[in-house]
Structure 1
Amino acid sequence: MTAPIIVRYGELQPCKTAFIDAHTPGSNQKENFTIIGGGVSESADQHVHITTPHGFNIGAAGQPPKCRNSLHSHRTAEVFFVLKGRWRFFWGRRGDAGEVVLEEGDIIDIPTGIFRGFENIGSDYGMIMAVLGGDDAGGGVIWAPQVIEDAADHGLVLGDNGKLYDSKKGQSLPEGVKPMPLLTEEELKDYPELTPDRVIGWGVRRYWDMVALAGKTPVTVIGETGMIRDKPGFEVSLLTRGSATEEPHEHDRPSVLMPLRGHWRLTWNGGEAFLAPGDTVSVPAGLRHAAVPSMEGEAALYHVIATDDPAGPSWLD
């Protein structure tokens, strides 16, 4: 039986040219990581750590203070949790329909069909982890028109083939490739301006509330019966010291463990490994395994597994 694949936090390989805003002031210092699946990167420079299909994609964004990710949308659900730092998430055509500040461990489920962005408002380098529904992550990113216009002013053009071309490197659109067309005003009407009470009340859960509910058994955070009642094509649960068990179990499809707090001991038939916050573990289907805290103190991890639900659209519909 194949052993789990572990991607260590310290071994993550960043890409600084993953998206169209890579040269835009205010966004040009962000680092993007593709951990599981092909992701939605527009750059051939993006390294993919695990290519095995899981039914979802997992990535991450690392940003210094005051660095933001530009307004975009996806065709499948996008879930973020904060690994390090303090982050402001905002949404709407111009990013002013609403916002929420999340701390370490907090999670947000962002529906399809709205423009969203995020900014590190902490005092140090921060990291957020992202789960996108579907193996193809919805076929790419849909950018707010002003993002594409701003990028062109700084040398980056997105082709209608979904690939980036950098005039600073002497690149131009190949023959037969046209610039990605901007969304028209009529098309933009399909991207609603959701009020804060809808997004926050429905799609945000705070770390300490989840910990309280996961004191004895794991809590389903996102799922058909979860704290966030959504069916984005995957289910997210939270385990703590009190709800972890040494009893081995297995799944009929690959699953993912993402430690958030504390150190964990993962065991399986014939092996063991020790995990730290920021590590990502892909456990193969059918492999009996167990994960328990290995040291005293606070301990929590997220567990992600695909479901048979469509990867999108999300709860908005």
Structure 2
Amino acid sequence: MTPAEMESRIVRYGDLHPCKTAFIDAHTPGSDQKENFTIIGGGVSESPDQHVHLAIPHGFNIGAAGQPPKCRNSLHSHRTAEVFFVLKGRWRFFWGRWGNAGEVVLEEGDIINIPTGIFRGFENIGTDYGMIMAVLGGDDAGGGVIWAPQVIEDAAGHGLVLGENGKLYDTKKGQTLPDGLKPMPLLTDAELATFPEPTSADVVPHYVARYWDLMALADKKPVTVIGEHGRLRDKPGFEVALMNRNSASDEMHSHPYPSVLMPMRGHWRVSWDGGSATLAPGDTMSVPEGLMHNAVPSMSGEASLYHVVATGDPAGLTWKG
């Protein structure tokens, strides 16, 4: 594969296209400053304004959220896995019907595999613009977002209406629901009762991994963070591993499914038969299935990289109760 062909599969951090109208809470005070990014796959945006950087199916989606301090993402749920690692800043993740069932604070490099089937939200509690990188299970990312009823009700007061087709309509711009299209129905009490309310003690030990723990575990070989045999045991349709300077190898290898390289710290040189490229923190590189390649740090200093590879498993439920 030529360098130009591979470069087309790299999304540079500085080239990311933000969308400020991606979801129903885009006008709601407290959430109206967030930026969403769809990097690989179709994502779950409800807005036609969302830019898709790389539409090639991988078996999972890669996205990101950027938010200034005190900005939050409203309570929602997914039918497949939602994994985040903190690229920049300090973030609070919270969950439950009203967001008060449990919470955890994540620092840079920490990773969370948020259980499916629960309402979750997150906010930047740092002092500067923060960035979290996301992996969503499945090529269709579970068919969209399920919002807590109060989120839909609050949004209507600020001009945004979500149609039952999963698309947003902004009444402040004169938009209305097309003839015959009904608004997205609110979840009923019976439906809401099916959403678990796990505590922090239920979630944190089994769904959160700390960066510096992973760095120590990756001293000899890459550590599988999320997977059937990972530190966070799960089969969400993909595996996530962390490698650092000590566990990186120049041995060429390939995967039977597409994989993605996402540097956390340091610069990494990725080589393949036909060329090489250097990645920096925040860059995202898609590696085709079957392509022989390697990734090693190209500069001195701290170096770490998250690696995501599809497994071919159904992107099913991950909450074990």
Question: Using the alignment, how far apart are the partners of 2:263 and 2:170 within structure 1?
Answer: 37
Give yes or no for contact 1:231–1:315 (8 Å, CA) kept in 2.
no
Deviations along 1:279-313, one digit per CA (max 9) or x if unpaired, are: 00001111111110000000000000111221011
Counterpart in the other structure of 1:79: 83
Say which of 165, 176, 198 aligns to 2:169: 165
1:296 aligns with 2:297: no
Count how many residue pairs are aligned between Structure 1 and Structure 2: 317
Give yes or no for contact 1:238–1:302 (8 Å, CA) kept in 2.
yes
Counterpart in the other structure of 2:238: 234
Question: Using the alignment, how far apart are the partners of 2:89 and 2:139 within structure 1?
Answer: 28
Identity of aligned residues (%): 78
Question: Using the alignment, how far apart are the partners of 2:204 and 2:182 within structure 1?
Answer: 38
RMSD: 0.8
Give yes or no for contact 2:117–2:319 (8 Å, CA) kept in 1.
no
* SS across alignment from 1:238: strand
* SS across alignment from 2:229: coil
Question: Using the alignment, how far apart are the partners of 2:293 and 2:205 within structure 1?
Answer: 35
Larger mean Cα displacement after TM superposition, 156-165 or 4-13: 4-13
- Matching residue's letter, 2:18: P
Question: Using the alignment, how far apart are the partners of 1:195 and 1:105 within structure 2?
Answer: 23
Say which of 14, 19, 25 aligns to 1:21: 25
> Aligned runs of 1:83-98 on 2, under 5 Å?
83-98=87-102
- Matching residue's letter, 1:295: M
- Matching residue's letter, 1:316: K
Counterpart in the other structure of 1:256: 260
1:215 aligns with 2:214: no
Counterpart in the other structure of 2:13: 9
- Matching residue's letter, 1:70: S
Q: 1:61 to 1:22 in 2, by over 3 A?
A: same
Shift of 1:209: 0.3
* Structure 2: 5+ residue stretches without partners: none
- Matching residue's letter, 2:311: T
Counterpart in the other structure of 1:57: 61
Give yes or no for contact 1:36–1:49 (8 Å, CA) kept in 2.
yes
TM-score of the superposed pair, with normalisation by structure 2: 0.98
Give yes or no for contact 1:87–1:118 (8 Å, CA) kept in 2.
yes
Say which of 209, 229, 232 aligns to 1:205: 209
* SS across alignment from 1:210: helix
1:106 aligns with 2:107: no
* SS across alignment from 1:150: helix
* SS across alignment from 1:168: helix
Counterpart in the other structure of 1:277: 281
Shift of 1:199: 0.8
Say which of 38, 51, 54 aligns to 2:42: 38
Counterpart in the other structure of 2:140: 136
* SS across alignment from 2:156: helix
Shift of 1:45: 0.5
Question: Using the alignment, how far apart are the partners of 1:300 and 1:13 within structure 2?
Answer: 25
Give yes or no for contact 2:257–2:311 (8 Å, CA) kept in 1.
no
Counterpart in the other structure of 1:186: 190
Question: Using the alignment, how far apart are the partners of 2:316 and 2:158 within structure 1?
Answer: 33
Runs of 4+ in 1 over 6 A off after TM superposition: none
Give yes or no for contact 1:112–1:316 (8 Å, CA) kept in 2.
no
Give yes or no for contact 1:29–1:64 (8 Å, CA) kept in 2.
yes
Deviations along 1:242-274, one digit per CA (max 9) or x if unpaired, are: 000111111112100000001111111111111
* SS across alignment from 1:236: strand
Question: Using the alignment, how far apart are the partners of 2:182 and 2:33 within structure 1?
Answer: 27
Question: Using the alignment, how far apart are the partners of 1:219 and 1:171 within structure 2?
Answer: 49
Question: Using the alignment, how far apart are the partners of 1:108 and 1:266 within structure 2?
Answer: 26
TM-score of the superposed pair, with normalisation by structure 1: 0.99
Question: Using the alignment, how far apart are the partners of 1:226 and 1:251 within structure 2?
Answer: 18
